[in-house]
Chains A and B, each alone.
Chain A
Amino acid sequence: MTATVTAPPPTLAATTSGRRKFKNNLATVLVTSSFVVAVIPLVWLLYTVISRGLHAITRDGWFTRSQRDITYKDPGGGAYHAILGTFEQVLLCSIISIPIAILVGVYLVEYGRGWLARTTTFMVDILTGIPSIVAALFIYAVFVTAFGGSRAGWLVSLALVMLMIPVIVRTTEEMLKLVPNELREASYALGVPKWKTILRIVLPTAFTGILTGIVLGIARVAGETAPLLILVGYSPNTNGNLFNGFQGSLPGMINDQVANIGNTRVLVNGRPVSIHYAADRMWGAALTLIIIVMALNVIARLIARRNKVTN
Chain B
Amino acid sequence: MSERETASPQASGDEPAGAHTGRRPDEGEPLPPPMVGGESIVEQPPEGGEPINWAEQGMRASLPIGSAEPSGIATLRDQAPVVGAGSVGLGRGKARRGDRIFATLTTTSGLFIVLLILLVAVFLVVQAIPAIRDDKSNFLFSRDWTVEGGNLHFGILGLLWTTVLISFVAMIIAVPLALGISLFITQYAPRRLARPVAYIIDLLAAIPSIIYGIWGIVVLAPFLEPVQRFLYHIGGFALFKNEGISRGTVFNAGVVIAIMVLPIVTAVARDVFERTPTANIEAAWALGATRWEMIKMAVIPHGRPGFVSGAMLGLGRALGETIAITLILSKGFEGQPFSWSIFSNGETFASKIANAAAEFNDPKQTGAYIAAGLFLFLLTFAVNAAARAVVARSQVS
Chain A residues proximal to chain B, CB less than 8 Å: 1-8, 12-13, 15-16, 20-21, 23-24, 26-28, 30-35, 37-39, 41-42, 44-45, 48-49, 100, 103-104, 106-113, 116-117, 119-135, 137-138, 140-142, 144-146, 162, 165-167, 169-171, 173-174, 176-185, 188, 191-199, 205, 213, 215-217, 219-220, 222-226, 229-230, 233, 251, 254-255, 258, 261, 279, 282-283, 286, 289-290, 293-294, 297, 300-301, 304, 308-311
Contacts and interface: CB of A to CB of B under 8 A. Distances in A.
Given A24-B293, A126-B117, A142-B123, A170 B208 contact: no
A48 B215 contact: yes
B109 A129 contact: no
A216 B208 contact: no
Contact of A104 (B29, B113, B179): B113
Nearest to B194: A1
Contacts of B200: 39, 42
A132 B320 contact: yes
Contacts of B313: 129
A225 B208 CA distance: 9
List of 3 A-B pairs having minimum Cβ-Cβ separation, nearest first: A223-B208, A131-B320, A34-B180
B366 to A, nearest CB: 6
Contacts of A181: 58, 76-77, 79, 81-82
A37 B177 contact: yes
Contacts of B376: 131, 133-134
Interface string B320-354: 11110001000000000000000000000010011
A127 B113 contact: yes
A230 B38 CA distance: 24
Contacts of A132: 320, 322
B6 interface: no
The secondary structure that dominates the B interface is helix
Q: Which of B39, B108, B212, B354: most chain A CB closer than 10 A?
A: B39
Given A35-B180, A254-B211, A107 B106 contact: yes
B86 A8 contact: no
Interface of B: 21-24, 27, 29, 32-33, 35, 37-40, 42, 44-45, 54, 57-59, 61-62, 64-67, 69, 72, 76-77, 79, 81-88, 95-96, 98-99, 101-103, 105-114, 116-117, 119-120, 123-124, 127, 176-177, 179-181, 183-191, 194, 197, 199-201, 203-204, 206-212, 214-215, 218-220, 259, 262, 266, 274, 276, 278, 281-282, 285, 288-293, 295, 313, 316-317, 319-323, 327, 350, 353-354, 357-358, 360, 363, 366, 369-370, 373, 376-377, 380-381, 383-385, 388
Given A123-B117, A188-B87, A311-B29, A225 B380 contact: no
B191 to A, nearest CB: 6
A74 B276 CA distance: 59
A33 B184 CA distance: 9
Nearest to A144: B360
A146 B123 contact: yes
B58 A124 contact: no
22 contacts: A1-B22, A8-B290, A23-B293, A31-B181, A34-B177, A35-B197, A37-B177, A45-B211, A103-B108, A116-B114, A133-B353, A134-B120, A134-B373, A141-B124, A173-B44, A183-B65, A195-B98, A205-B65, A216-B38, A225-B210, A226-B322, A308-B65
B380 A8 contact: no
B113 A145 contact: no
B84 A137 contact: no
A184 B85 contact: yes
Contacts of A197: 86
A2 B23 contact: yes
B84 to A, nearest CB: 6
A138 to B, nearest CB: 5
B392 to A, nearest CB: 10
B114 A119 contact: yes
Contacts of B82: 110, 181, 184-185
Contacts of A178: 54, 57-58, 61
A108 B86 CA distance: 15
The interface centre, meaning the residue of B27, B44, B67, B290 with most chain A CB atoms within 10 A of its CB, is B290
A129 B316 contact: yes
Contacts of B99: 193-195
Contacts of A27: 291-292, 295
